[in-house]
Amino acid sequence: MNREAARTRIESLRTTLLHHNRRYYQMDDPEITDADYDLLLRELNDLELEFPDLITPDSPTQRVGAPPLEKFGAVTHRTPMLSLANAFSGEEIREFDRRCRRFLGSDDPIHYVVEPKLDGLAVNLLYEYGRLTVGSTRGDGTVGEDVTLNLRTIPAIPLSVPRMEDPPPPPGGGMAAVPERIEIRGEVCMEREAFRNLNIRRTEQGAPPFANPRNAAAGSLRQLDSRITARRPLTMFCYAIATAEGVAFRTHEAVLRTLAAWGFQVNPLIRPAVDIEECIHYYHQIGQMRDKLPYEIDGIVIKVNDLLLQERLGAVSRSPRWAVACKFAAVRERTVIDDIVVQVGRTGVLTPVAVMRAVRVGGVMVSRATLHNEDEIRKKDIRIGDTVMIQRAGDVIPEVVEVVQTARIGSEKPFVMPETCPECGSRVVRMEGEVAHRCIGMACPAQIREHIAHFASRGALDIDGLGDKVVAQLVTNGLIHDPADLFFLTKEKLLGLERMAEKSASNLLEAIGRAKSPPLDRLIFALGIRHIGEQTAKRLAQACGKLDALMAATSEELQTVRDIGPEVAASIVGFFREAANLQVIQKLRSAGITPMETARLQAAPLAGKTFVFTGTLSRMGRNEAKALVESMGGAVGSAVTKTTNYVVAGEAAGSKIEKARQQGIAILDEAAFLALTGIKVVPCNS
């Protein structure tokens, strides 16, 4: 075949294959057998081998994977990938609806879209000029891993989408033109049958089976060698467009329709609902179907359909107000508690843990469950030897729900909290007002271990090769006593340890060396200050910019940072007052640890301003207006006082206006208020 003929045939084969992909993934109605599909694909492959310059990155042959990577790159999401608030019952779902309406200041029923909540992992696909250019995992919601090569191997993911200048869609397709840059979100998962077959193959090959389809999907997607991913039966359902430059949608339904028209797989069970009762009905209906579906779901997601309303509702912390995940009741299993052991955590808290006969709960083998604290054990009257019901909901750590009293035989032994620490023998105390027992030993190896393991963990300094076992070995051998000691380790010291070879020692030292300039927020998180999780650490880094500024901040200053109240502020101030902590920080500095500075967030435009509302606003509800002011750093008061800066007068404003006038406080009408916030508010029913 000559080159021109090959080009024509290649193009025709690609169009045909694309068509059959759509029949298979979008319409669930294939027109040809898998074998015939493979024949066409092989023909295309052969032609491309003969004329390699005719290969394009979006050819259906380009899904076989590429040579392995050393490490995944990091991708900062253009729009953060949020998580969802949970509801567990019809009543909690109604409460979500009431919250939305209260916030919007409206009694009208809200139209929703109900979707199955797929139990896989969320990914983001970036298409630029119609081509899939970057695919990433959710990561911490802000930064994910670049798994583009792996995602490209998943047949349900289009490698390209038709561009504006492409020919119009078939009649009735209703396809919107694809903008230059779009980001598509969805869930990568593995169907149950594919998962079973994969595990059969793995067992035959002597590889450990995956615990559940979700783990299998995650493990497959996070392969450095995309050729392995290409052999794993992954699929993807899309449920959102995060960024779409130049296109506007009015409803979530329109988004989903467009996704399907562009060639993405959209879950066929998604339904619109005219009010919350219809959503609840559908929640029960999908719950009934759950076990019969080809893929695992752990609930449904209810989303406000109108995108303007979604925008007005906005987000709190890390979850949108306009959506809720309604989880199905957890899967329960019965087992026996063989022992209750005590673990000592980073802050010296002793946690009783049930050691149980292993059982499979919702697809995962479980043999340990936290019992939280002594009070909890007393309340549930849990004894060693008891038969118990345990449950696991979604990703949540398994818990003991109740004791099967009728299975008691009399030889069960009550649990007693030890009076001395099982790790260091120091006294164990229970502080007033706390449920926890703590070991007071300053040199408790368990606390030191946990503290250092946390310092090196993924969300913290992310030091490769410094897992729990190695940390324990280093602490037990007296090589490290605090996190800063890590940076003074030498090869000679490491080689003295059991099972530590030359290669692993230099790998570890290299990994430690790489952690010397962490982003500020990770270092703050790594310090292990009580109550400071990854999210709060980020906020602190953005607010302070430098470690010195954080160390010098007063409790009042800290409380101006979003989500930080008196307790958290006190914990931070207390931490930096402690001589031992300051010593560790000093040691970190002398080891050359220099956190990268964080760009400080611009001061909030309404910071220090207090607003009082009176009368009814026409464009938004009271709660919405309050959230708007607070999101810009301002505060809202209920009465006009000396500290009030503005009184916002809506329709039928009351006596507050008079009071404001008397005190010479600025009075704004609704339009002036909106102008001040600089936010354009669009009426919801346009």
Distance CA 390, CA 400 (A): 4
User: Nearest distance from residue 299's CB to ligand IVH, in Å?
Assistant: 8
Closest CA to 520 of 575, 445, 585: 585
Q: Which CB atom, from 141 or from 445, has the smaller least distance to ligand IVH?
A: 141
User: Nearest distance from residue 330's CB to ligand IVH, in Å?
Assistant: 16
User: Nearest distance from residue 298's CB to ligand IVH, in Å?
Assistant: 8
As given in the structure block, the two tokens for residue 629 are 């002011």
Distance CA 110, CA 107 (A): 9
DSSP E strands in 362-486: the ranges are: 364-370, 383-384, 387-392, 399-403, 413-414, 428-430, 437-439
Q: Which CB atom, from 117 or from 449, has the smaller least distance to ligand IVH?
A: 117
Q: Which CB atom, from 319 or from 370, has the smaller least distance to ligand IVH?
A: 319
User: Nearest distance from residue 622's CB to ligand IVH, in Å?
Assistant: 25
User: Nearest distance from residue 112's CB to ligand IVH, in Å?
Assistant: 12
| Alpha carbon of residue 480 to chain centroid | 33
Binding positions for ligand IVH, rule: CB under 6 A: 82-84, 115, 117-118, 122, 138, 187, 239, 301, 320, 323, 325
Contact 471, 533 (CB under 8 A): no
User: Nearest distance from residue 325's CB to ligand IVH, in Å?
Assistant: 5
Among the options 117, 303, 609, 656, which is catalytic? Answer: 117
Rounded to 10 deg, the angle between the 213-221 and 192-204 helix axes is: 70
Provide the Cα torsion 421, 426, 427, 429; round to 10°.
-60
Q: Which CB atom, from 396 or from 666, has the smaller least distance to ligand IVH?
A: 396
Long-range contacts of 470-475 (CB under 8 A, 24+ apart): 470/508, 473/497, 473/498, 473/500, 475/445, 475/448, 475/449
User: Nearest distance from residue 187's CB to ligand IVH, in Å?
Assistant: 5
Contact 539, 561 (CB under 8 A): yes
Distance CA 188, CA 306 (A): 26
Q: Find all residues with CB under 8 Å of 456, minimum gap 6, and list them.
A: 462, 463, 466, 471, 483, 486, 515, 526
Distance CA 372, CA 382 (A): 12
DSSP E strands in 207-265: the ranges are: 234-244
Residue nearest to ligand IVH (CB): 122
As given in the structure block, the two tokens for residue 17 are 């294959």
User: Nearest distance from residue 122's CB to ligand IVH, in Å?
Assistant: 3
Q: Which CB atom, from 286 or from 350, has the smaller least distance to ligand IVH?
A: 286
Q: Which CB atom, from 320 or from 615, has the smaller least distance to ligand IVH?
A: 320
Helices within 371-490 (DSSP H only):
374-380, 445-456, 468-476
Distance CA 430, CA 436 (A): 6
Q: Is 172 left (phi over 0), alpha (psi -120 to 50) or beta?
A: left
* Number of other CB atoms surrounding residue 560 within 10 Å: 15
Q: Which CB atom, from 62 or from 83, has the smaller least distance to ligand IVH?
A: 83
User: Nearest distance from residue 182's CB to ligand IVH, in Å?
Assistant: 17
Name residue 72's amino acid.
Answer: F
Partner residues linked to 390 by β-bridges:
333, 400
Query: How buried is residue 476: exposed, middle or buried, by Cβ count under 10 Å (0-12/13-18/19+)?
Result: exposed
User: Nearest distance from residue 26's CB to ligand IVH, in Å?
Assistant: 17
Contact 630, 666 (CB under 8 A): no
Q: Which CB atom, from 186 or from 441, has the smaller least distance to ligand IVH?
A: 186
Contact 333, 360 (CB under 8 A): yes
As given in the structure block, the two tokens for residue 585 are 């920080």
Q: Which CB atom, from 116 or from 348, has the smaller least distance to ligand IVH?
A: 116
Helices within 249-297 (DSSP H only):
252-261, 276-289
User: Nearest distance from residue 372's CB to ligand IVH, in Å?
Assistant: 24
Indicate if 117 belongs to the active site: yes
Q: Which CB atom, from 10 or from 266, has the smaller least distance to ligand IVH?
A: 266
Closest CA to 125 of 233, 21, 237: 237
> Which residues are designated catalytic?
117
